[in-house]
Amino acid sequence: MNSEEIKDHIYSMGKKARAAALKLSQLTEVEKASILRAMARAVREATPEILAANTKDIEAGEAKGLTGAMLDRLRLDANRVDAIAGGIEQVADLPDPVGEELEKIDRPNGIHITKARVPIGVIGIIYESRPNVTSDAAVLCLKSGNATILRGGSEAIHSNRAIAKALQEGGEPAGLPDGAIQLIPFTDRESVQVLAGMDKYLDLIIPRGGKGLIETVVSLARMPVIKHYDGICHAFVDTAADQDLAVAIIDDGKTQKPSVCNALETVLVHKDIAEEFLPKLEQRLKVRGVEIRADEHALKILSDAKAATDEDWVTEYLDLIIAVKVVDSIQAAIEHINEYSSQHSEVIITRDDVAANQFLTGVDSACVYHNVSTRFSDGEEYGFGAEIGISTDKLHARGPMGLKELTSYQYRVTGDGQIKDKARQDALLSTQEA
Amino acid sequence: MNSEEIKDHIYSMGKKARAAALKLSQLTEVEKASILRAMARAVREATPEILAANTKDIEAGEAKGLTGAMLDRLRLDANRVDAIAGGIEQVADLPDPVGEELEKIDRPNGIHITKARVPIGVIGIIYESRPNVTSDAAVLCLKSGNATILRGGSEAIHSNRAIAKALQEGGEPAGLPDGAIQLIPFTDRESVQVLAGMDKYLDLIIPRGGKGLIETVVSLARMPVIKHYDGICHAFVDTAADQDLAVAIIDDGKTQKPSVCNALETVLVHKDIAEEFLPKLEQRLKVRGVEIRADEHALKILSDAKAATDEDWVTEYLDLIIAVKVVDSIQAAIEHINEYSSQHSEVIITRDDVAANQFLTGVDSACVYHNVSTRFSDGEEYGFGAEIGISTDKLHARGPMGLKELTSYQYRVTGDGQIKDKARQDALLSTQEA
């Protein structure tokens, strides 16, 4: 396809999505749940087609020399397809956020204002290689009354098409509006550019993926973007820390699943306990096979660490590597975090509630923890039922984004003829009568 | 100044603002109120300097041939300066939104999650000729714990500088952090471009002004933008309308203050009552000196209207002109509004609650009214105490933006050592003990 054709195609999808969004906003909780259940059934029934499509992607990926980790993210099997369907059923069971009355205001002049939750409209989701996102994102948007335009990565195109087809063909007989879930069927880079410029039809764009993708979307987008940047998460071990607990939290944060965004990347240790604590930490991390990159001060205490460079403070390793730095005070820890973190998740380990409070209110990140592993930064762990991702932005949605964060609101005002200036009209009417 | 110097200057302002924002976020309600009161006093005391500066702007404006309306927006007198100071005192008295606990979640694993309201950080405000915005915007941002970088229009530069100086010099001895309120001291067009690209230091940008300014900001901005577009507001007169009430609401919406964004621009009338209602409406609007631009159907009924063109449905007249169209159904009215309105404010006039509900839930605008003038779309009328403007966006803030809409939130999580996978660590420890 040439540029003009790509643009025309995506704009016609946008127009369809806008029409679908209006219909979606009027669906009841029961109607949406029954559509979602039909979609889940259709995904289960389409397992053979989805796996066949996935095999094509895997073969193409192997031929292209994708790494094992990338192929693993891409690979589906019967259990994973079943988990996708199960995820849809879970979302069907969540309470419908749309229509919720967020506030009621009665004004002295007799007008009644209701702040009501409404869908956002049309949401564009740009993602990379995991094919389950096709379903997860579309289904959360549908439950919250939004239409979606999905643009997945080229590696997963066959799988994404097969999943989107099952969702559409399963949903439409059950009342899914035409155009409510659309997948861009090609993966030209230009499609990202077109989507980002289509503010006429797209109310929000959510890029999920690497820094490069997000940067591209941010620089092109004319509509709001909710970024899901990487997680450069910190643990600060205070003088008053329970040191065994600190070791446990850092071990969990670094080694339990190093490839995720809420894993730890940097440990800051108060200078007064560094000599006592760092050897304990090193011992545990050694067993776990973690490489330590240490600042000058920590390097003197640790027996087997490499020297950290400036690059280490801004790197999301996603691997068994951790940066360690000794700081002079809790304030110095807060300043380091506010300078280098990605504003995702940070933890203080301390028995001192005053220090904890200083940390929790001083650190400018989405999720701040006291004596709890950062690995809990997750919509399900927060009780949201499901999440579309973790926002590292500060506007509209911050931290785990659940169904509520996929909605907007509207003020509905009722009265019995209130006007701004009644005296002015009364004066006019009395002149006319006179 | 050359481009490089402008950029350096604005970036150094950004860096200062970021440092100030951290301090502002820690100020208590009492501290902020006392700073605001000191600023109000300083504005009153600086009245002679502010008026002298304003005279320079007015003289320059007259020399440049600004219209009377533009000069009026620009002009200050002792009363207007006093009103600016009074506005600051009003904001000082409003409750502090920062720190409010929006939600508390206790999870089965014993962690406690508090969703706490926090400031956004650094907010850029780009505005045009009204000098009072310098104070209004800075003060609302300060109350909500945010630092501001202000970029006013060139017409008001002397007035803006004098007001900003009074705010800073009044506030600083009372504890206003250095850099909390900064005005870009020059008005080169490039400064907008630099601000819009400075996502390192700016968390949000709010453009207030004409479509051209907003379009420029939207296309350049790398950070979130909350747009305040114009208001193309509609009234729909249903078959079941109280027709006198409809005339009153349309008169109020169009003629009480035609230059504002919540004034009416278009009237839609149900075909079944058009012949009865339109002459009544015309009679009233004639007295008010309003020109009517009518569609083909309405044109046949009205005695003194011009034919509307397609342009009329998308024009914010801000003047004594109104567009009138006859529609076949309430659904047709909703569709017209969703196609042509700026999603600001719309009203249905009807005695039929089912029709009203269909309209209120079907129209995708920030503020929807039943039997109430659209002129009430305003932060003070909604009880917010003050507003920074009316957002026509759907993300983060929609409709009147008060102090709460100038905040973000943060999840603060406390516990006693919860980790994601305790069994894994227990297994490790038991091996080591064995």
- What is the average pLDDT across A155-177? 97
List of chain A residues whose C-beta atoms are within 8 Å of the C-beta of residue B220: none
Domain's final residue, options B348, B376, B404? B376
Contact present, B268 and B298 (Cβ < 8 Å)? no
Q: How far is B83 from chain A (nearest CA, A)?
A: 21
What is the token pair recorded at B398? 């929609």
Contact present, B232 and B344 (Cβ < 8 Å)? yes
Q: Residue B256 and residue B375: Cα distance in Å, rounded?
A: 9
Maximum Cα–Cα distance for chain A, whole Å? 100
- Kindly report the backbone phi and psi dihedral angles of residue B145, in degrees, each rounded to the nearest multiple of 5, phi listed first: 80, 15
Nearest partner of A201 among A185, A182, A226, judged by Cα: A182
Do B33 and B98 lie in a common domain? Answer: yes
CA distances in angstroms from B167 to A5, B38, B84, B140, listed in the order given: 55, 8, 11, 13
Do A255 and A293 lie in a common domain? Answer: yes
Please indicate if any CB of chain B lies within 8 Å of the CB of A380: no
Total domains in chain A come to 2
Contact present, B40 and B90 (Cβ < 8 Å)? no
Please write the tens of the pLDDT for every residue from A356-369: 999 999 999 999 99
The strand pairing partners of B369, in sequence order, are: A413, B347
Do A242 and A160 lie in a common domain? Answer: no
Q: Residue B386 and residue B89: Cα distance in Å, rounded?
A: 11
What is the token pair recorded at B82? 């006093």
Q: What residues of chain B, 136 to 195, have a C-beta less than 8 Å from chain A?
A: none
Q: How many CB atoms lie within 10 A of CB A130?
A: 20
> Which of A371, A408, A413 lies at the smallest CB-CB distance from B415?
A371
Contact present, B192 and B209 (Cβ < 8 Å)? no
Q: What residues of chain A, 222 to 261, have a C-beta less than 8 Å from chain B?
A: 222, 224-226, 242, 245, 248-249, 251-252, 256-257
Q: Residue B393 and residue A113: Cα distance in Å, rounded?
A: 19
Give the per-residue pLDDT at B434. Answer: 66
- Kindly report the backbone phi and psi dihedral angles of residue B286, in degrees, each rounded to the nearest multiple of 5, phi listed first: -60, -45
- What is the average pLDDT across A120-135? 92
Does the distance separating the beta carbons of A22 and B410 come in below 8 Å?
Answer: no
Percent of chain A exceeding pLDDT 70 equals 100
Do A66 and A176 lie in a common domain? Answer: yes
Do B44 and B164 lie in a common domain? Answer: yes
Encode B81-101: b = buried (16+ Cβ within 10 Å), e = exposed.
beebbebbbebbebebbbeee
On whether residue B418 sits in a domain, the answer given is: no
Residue B2 has pLDDT above 90, yes or no: no
> Which of A226, A356, A415 lies at the smallest CB-CB distance from B371?
A415
Of all residues in chain A, what percent are helix, strand and coil, respectively (each to 5)? 50, 20, 30
Give the per-residue pLDDT at A212. Answer: 85
Q: Residue A98 and residue A175: Cα distance in Å, rounded?
A: 18
Please indicate if any CB of chain A lies within 8 Å of the CB of B121: yes
Q: Which element (helix H / strand E) includes A207?
A: strand A204-207
Please write the tens of the pLDDT for every residue from B219-249: 899 999 998 878 899 999 999 999 999 999 9
Q: How far is B390 from chain A (nearest CA, A)?
A: 12
Nearest partner of A356 among B114, B185, B204, B345, judged by Cα: B114
Burial of A232 (0-12, 13-18, 19+ CB in 10 A): buried
Residue B195: give its domain's CATH number. Answer: 3.40.605.10
B205's CB contacts (< 8 A; 6+ apart) are B123, B124, B125, B126, B195, B196, B217, B221, B223, B224, B225, B226
Please indicate if any CB of chain A lies within 8 Å of the CB of B203: yes
Give residue B211's pLDDT band: very low, low, confident or very high (50, 70, 90).
confident
Strand pairing report for B112-119 and B101-106: antiparallel
Do B112 and B257 lie in a common domain? Answer: no
Residue B57 has pLDDT above 80, yes or no: yes
Q: Residue B225 and residue B142: Cα distance in Å, rounded?
A: 19
Mutate to test the interface with A, among B412, B428, B429 (most CBs of A within 10 A): B412
Does the distance separating the beta carbons of A111 and B413 come in below 8 Å?
Answer: no
Do A203 and A116 lie in a common domain? Answer: yes
Contact present, B386 and A374 (Cβ < 8 Å)? no
List of chain B residues whose C-beta atoms are within 8 Å of the C-beta of residue A103: none
- What is the average pLDDT across A279-296? 97
> Which of A22, A203, A394 lies at the smallest CB-CB distance from B394?
A203
Percent of chain B exceeding pLDDT 70 equals 100
**B51 CA to centre of own chain:** 27
Give residue A213's pLDDT band: very low, low, confident or very high (50, 70, 90).
confident
Axis-axis angle for helices B29-45, B157-171 (nearest 10): 130
- Exposure of B173 in the CB half-sphere (CA atoms within 13 A): 8
Residue A325 has pLDDT above 90, yes or no: yes
Do B237 and B173 lie in a common domain? Answer: no
Q: What residues of chain A, 41 to 100, have a C-beta less than 8 Å from chain B?
A: none
> Which of A248, A370, A394 lies at the smallest CB-CB distance from B425?
A248
On whether residue A430 sits in a domain, the answer given is: no
Mutate to test the interface with B, among A203, A412, A422 (most CBs of B within 10 A): A412
On whether residue B330 sits in a domain, the answer given is: yes
Mutate to test the interface with B, among A376, A390, A422 (most CBs of B within 10 A): A376
Straight-line distance from the first to the last Cα atom of chain A, in angstroms, rounded to the nearest whole number: 73
Please indicate if any CB of chain A lies within 8 Å of the CB of B419: yes
Q: Residue B166 and residue B134: Cα distance in Å, rounded?
A: 11
Residue A277: give its domain's CATH number. Answer: 3.40.309.10
Do B207 and B244 lie in a common domain? Answer: no
Does the distance separating the beta carbons of B204 and A383 come in below 8 Å?
Answer: no
Does the distance separating the beta carbons of B22 and A362 come in below 8 Å?
Answer: yes
Q: DSSP letter for A377, please.
A: -
- The answer to which of A322-326, A346-350, B424-428 has the lowest mean pLDDT is B424-428
Nearest partner of A194 among A135, A147, A124, judged by Cα: A124
> Which of A222, A410, A417 lies at the smallest CB-CB distance from B218?
A222
Which residue on chain A is closest to B409 by alpha carbon? A398
Contact present, A211 and A227 (Cβ < 8 Å)? no
CA distances in angstroms from A165 to A45, A60, B61, listed in the order given: 12, 21, 62
Please indicate if any CB of chain A lies within 8 Å of the CB of B34: no
Please write the tens of the pLDDT for every residue from B301-326: 999 999 999 999 999 998 999 999 99
List of chain B residues whose C-beta atoms are within 8 Å of the C-beta of residue A203: 394-395
Does the distance separating the beta carbons of A417 and B371 come in below 8 Å?
Answer: yes
Does the distance separating the beta carbons of A107 and B383 come in below 8 Å?
Answer: yes
Burial of A126 (0-12, 13-18, 19+ CB in 10 A): buried
The strand pairing partners of B324, in sequence order, are: B267, B294
Q: Residue B6 and residue A210: Cα distance in Å, rounded?
A: 32
Residue A193 has pLDDT above 80, yes or no: yes
List of chain B residues whose C-beta atoms are within 8 Å of the C-beta of residue A199: 218
On whether residue A420 sits in a domain, the answer given is: no
A48's CB contacts (< 8 A; 6+ apart) are none
What is the token pair recorded at B93? 């008295």
Give the per-residue pLDDT at B223. Answer: 92
Give residue B1's pLDDT band: very low, low, confident or very high (50, 70, 90).
confident
Residue A129 has pLDDT above 80, yes or no: no
- What is the average pLDDT across B33-47? 98
Give the per-residue pLDDT at A369. Answer: 98
Please write the tens of the pLDDT for every residue from A251-266: 999 999 998 899 999 9
Please indicate if any CB of chain B lies within 8 Å of the CB of A398: yes
- Amino acid occupying residue B423: A
State chain B's mean pLDDT as an integer: 95
On whether residue A285 sits in a domain, the answer given is: yes
Contact present, B420 and A375 (Cβ < 8 Å)? yes
- What is the average pLDDT across A95-105? 96
Give the per-residue pLDDT at B335. Answer: 95
Residue A433 has pLDDT above 80, yes or no: no
The strand pairing partners of B104, in sequence order, are: B114
- What is the average pLDDT across B368-373? 98
Which residue on chain B is closest to A392 by alpha carbon? B410
The reported pTM is 0.93
On whether residue A76 sits in a domain, the answer given is: yes
CA distances in angstroms from A62 to A55, A77, A161, B423, listed in the order given: 10, 17, 20, 36
Do A180 and A295 lie in a common domain? Answer: no
Maximum Cα–Cα distance for chain B, whole Å? 100
Please write the tens of the pLDDT for every residue from B61-114: 999 999 888 898 899 999 999 999 999 999 999 999 999 999 999 999 999 999
Which residue on chain B is closest to A205 by alpha carbon? B395
Please write the tens of the pLDDT for every residue from A226-235: 988 788 999 9
Q: Residue A16 and residue A198: Cα distance in Å, rounded?
A: 13
SS3 (DSSP) at A345: strand
Question: What SS3 string covers chain B?
Answer: CCHHHHHHHHHHHHHHHHHHHHHHHHCCHHHHHHHHHHHHHHHHHCHHHHHHHHHHHHHHHHHHCCCHHHHHHHCCCHHHHHHHHHHHHHHHHCCCCCCCEEEEEECCCCCEEEEEEEECCEEEEECCCCCHHHHHHHHHHHHCCCEEEEECCHHHHHHHHHHHHHHHHHHHHHCCCCCCEEECCCCCCHHHHHHHHCCCCCCEEEEECCHHHHHHHHHHCCCCECCECCCCEEEEECCCCCHHHHHHHHHHHHHCCCCCCCCEEEEEEEHHHHHHHHHHHHHHHHHCCCEEEECHHHHHHCCCCEECCHHHHHCCCCCCEEEEEEECCHHHHHHHHHHHCCCCEEEEECCCHHHHHHHHHHCCCCEEEEEECHHHCCCCCCCCCCCCEEECCCCCCCEEECCHHHEEEEEEEEEEEECCCHHHHHHHHHHHHC
Please write the tens of the pLDDT for every residue from B137-166: 999 999 999 999 999 999 999 999 999 999
Please indicate if any CB of chain B lies within 8 Å of the CB of A336: no
On whether residue B198 sits in a domain, the answer given is: yes
Residue A434 has pLDDT above 70, yes or no: no
> Angle CA(A270)–CA(A271)–CA(A272) in degrees, nearest 5?
95
Do B244 and B223 lie in a common domain? Answer: no
- What is the average pLDDT across A88-105? 96
Q: How many CB atoms lie within 10 A of CB B361?
A: 18
Q: DSSP letter for A421, please.
A: -
Contact present, B137 and B160 (Cβ < 8 Å)? no
Which residue on chain A is closest to B429 by alpha carbon? A284
- Amino acid occupying residue B78: A
Please indicate if any CB of chain B lies within 8 Å of the CB of A203: yes
SS3 (DSSP) at A5: helix
The strand pairing partners of A101, in sequence order, are: A116
Q: How many CB atoms lie within 10 A of CB B65?
A: 7
Please indicate if any CB of chain A lies within 8 Å of the CB of B113: yes
On whether residue A246 sits in a domain, the answer given is: yes
Mutate to test the interface with A, among B365, B411, B416 (most CBs of A within 10 A): B411
Residue A32 has pLDDT above 80, yes or no: yes
Q: Is B90 left (phi over 0), alpha (psi -120 to 50) or beta?
A: alpha
**A132 CA to centre of own chain:** 14
- The answer to which of A157-161, A211-215, A361-365 has the lowest mean pLDDT is A211-215
Do B248 and B330 lie in a common domain? Answer: yes
Domain assignment of residue B293, given as a range:
233-376
